[in-house]
Chain A
Amino acid sequence: MKQLLSVCLLFAMSPAIAPMSAEPQNKDEVAKMTLKVGDKAPDFTLLSDEWKTVKLSDYHGKKNVFLAVYVLAFTGG
């Protein structure tokens, strides 16, 4: 498993400013997803949990990348 998934980048988000007592209205769940299979993945630069800069393009020619975007992740905000 470890060798198959060359690298997995996990995005953790939490709605720090959202009112937790209210259920959000969900109007267009996937309507904004415009990227599709075969498209070039937009490059990005983000900070890791070790405060290191991680660029998607750093993995080009080296590893496949599994991006997992988590909402209301496990960090508690």
Chain B
Amino acid sequence: MDYAFFLGCTIPLRYPQLEAATRAVCNILGIGLKEIHGASCCPEPVAIQSLGIETWLTLGARNLALAEKMNLDVLTVCSGCFETLKTVHVMLGKDKKYFDMVNKILNKIGYEYKGTSKVYNIAEILSEDDIIQKIKNAVSLPLEGIRLASHSGCHLIRPSKILEFDNPERPELMDKILSALGTEVIQYSETVTCCGYCARLNEEIGDDLCEIKFTDLEKNKVEALITVCPACTSQYDLHERKINRDREEKMEIPVIHLPEIMALAFGINPKSENMDIMKRAIRPRKLLEKLKIEI
């Protein structure tokens, strides 16, 4: 199955190693990724949506119109992009006034938004039953005896009336994917606690929320936290380092993007052209040691 691959800003420009792992994993699973030429920022759901809803909708519809020209559904790798593009798709599908307003502007620059391309997040595709079977077949290094925990993040699961993915209060689908890698998935109390990245106008909020999260992860002896959103990934990685600064006994709970941990289980060299698992503030040294992977 082919998808129009929507990269967004953060992954391709800041964390290309995550894009590389995503492409490697999709290649193994037979998920075709087609480049969208000329795509812009989704636009992101904090600043741009806050400045002007019409602008946010029209820029989002422009990106979707590019995928429509390719006759493909859209695959996102960032939860922010997923939230924006799916919300634009759902809202414009319900509101004729805004649908016409957006198209009146887009028509002047040679675009038409029809609403024909569906929007998916990569976790959604990876949790489909036939892909789960392919994942199981592709695992060459089962992640046995490793205590992994998942963080779905907010913009993958809420609001469920729009995103329609997983249980909004007790998400299960990421764990379904991780289980297919042969690992033990740890359940913990603060599963749906927000990372606080979007509340960044008050730094204290992110600090407090990350402290709550890591306290619980530590209590549950979690050895790696698996995320799907680049914002959650960097927020937790950098805050863990910040928390560690004031502690004698340092935590080592690496924050790993879902495609990266899958690539590891598929036997891909963790420091290669296909990924670089050491590129983060908290490096997964113990995890690699436990899996007997040398780099």
Query: Do A and B come from the same complex?
Result: no
Query: Which residue numbers of A lie inside 8 Å of B, CB to CB?
Result: none
B residues sitting closer than 8 Å to A (CB atoms) are none
